[in-house]
Amino acid sequence: MKAWIRTIFLLKSKIGQLVELIAEEMDALSVDIAANTLTVFTKMLALEDKKRRVVNFKVFSTLLKGQLEKQEYSLIKLHIVDGKSFEEIAPLFESSKSALSRKFNKAINKCEDFLIKLTFNEERLVSEYKDIALIYRTVQKIK
């Protein structure tokens, strides 16, 4: 689950681009006059479902941010998104790197607990996102 939490925060800024790509793919399908109507309709439904799941993935980041204290979110952003080590971040928080590591793990666990409360455990996340390459590959890379 921790890899999923990291991925949610890491990809937050890229999700908009992914939604746009899906929308472009839908537009291209809608103007293909030579295509079979049923085939186009089926593909459009699949793309709309994919778009919904991608948007939901972005919503996770907003929901998780709301569960965290300001300092916890800043720590996650600096470490995950900006790629800074605990050693680099420690002076900003006037803390030791080991204390920051503990705070970081506590914040990640808080996010994990919240997703599970929303019924998004590891199995469900895999089921929902295994066909969305950007998301699933990122999770696999982090693991």
- Note the pLDDT tens digit of each residue in 7-17: 999 999 999 99
pTM above 0.95, yes or no: no
**Confidence check: pLDDT of 64 > 90:** yes
Q: What is the pLDDT of residues 29-57, one digit of tens each?
A: 888 777 788 888 999 999 999 999 999 99
Q: What is the CA 114 to chain-centroid distance, rounded? A: 14
Backbone angles phi, psi at 132, to 5 degrees: -105, 100
80: closest CA among 9, 3, 4?
A: 9
